[in-house]
Amino acid sequence: MRIFKKKGEIKVIQLLRVDHRLLHGQVVFSWCSQLNPNCILIADDNIVNDSVRISALRLGKPNDTKLVIKNVSDSISAINSGKTDKYNLIIIVPNIEEAVTLAKNVKQITSINLGGTKANKLTHPISNMVNVTDEEEKLLREVIGLGKEVYIQAVPSEQRREFK
């Protein structure tokens, strides 16, 4: 989601990305360099209770970028209350279900970027890096039905492919 703003306008949600690796090289070097966020929100119901992973994520964030880690419900509340309006925000979630929950409950989210999901015995590939279950495909189609975009793109320099 690329939204350009004029000086003095409200900040925006620049990207909602599904990536099971959360904060790593593609996000830090490619997406952050391209979008220049001043805040990264990791919305994940599991990681909020894992102090070791939180510490590791804090070490990997860009220097001039704030890192906030919340569960999905608290993330939705913070965004909808306007607390995040002062930021150029990238949101990262580890799975499609959490991305869909955010997209359905936050009006400002207009698209979901599928960046990377793990393969397992229940999934099938829809790209080199994205593997989905039948249920996840159904959820993504629901989001599209709401008028939101779903696309596959590992890095900004890669050609964007719409999920259909």
State the average pLDDT for the chain: 92
The pLDDT assigned to 27 comes to: 85
Q: For each of the domains in the chain, give its residue range(s) and CATH number, in order of start.
A: 13-162 (3.40.35.10)
Q: What is the pTM of this model?
A: 0.91
Per-residue DSSP letters for 3-25? ----TTSPP-EEEEEEETT-SSH
Written as six digits, the tokens of 101 are: 């929950």
Written as six digits, the tokens of 123 are: 């999934």
Written as six digits, the tokens of 75 are: 């993330």
The pLDDT assigned to 109 comes to: 96
Stretches where the chain sits below pLDDT 50 are 1-9
**119-151 pLDDT per residue, tens:** 999 999 999 999 999 999 999 999 999 999 999
Written as six digits, the tokens of 31 are: 């997406």
CA Rg value for the chain: 15
The pLDDT assigned to 7 comes to: 45
The pLDDT assigned to 11 comes to: 61
Backbone angles phi, psi at 70, to 5 degrees: -140, 160
Question: Amino acid identity, residue 97?
Answer: E
The pLDDT assigned to 153 comes to: 96
Residue carrying structure tokens 């939101």: 148
- Geometric angle at alpha carbon 110, from 106 and 85, rounded to 5°: 55
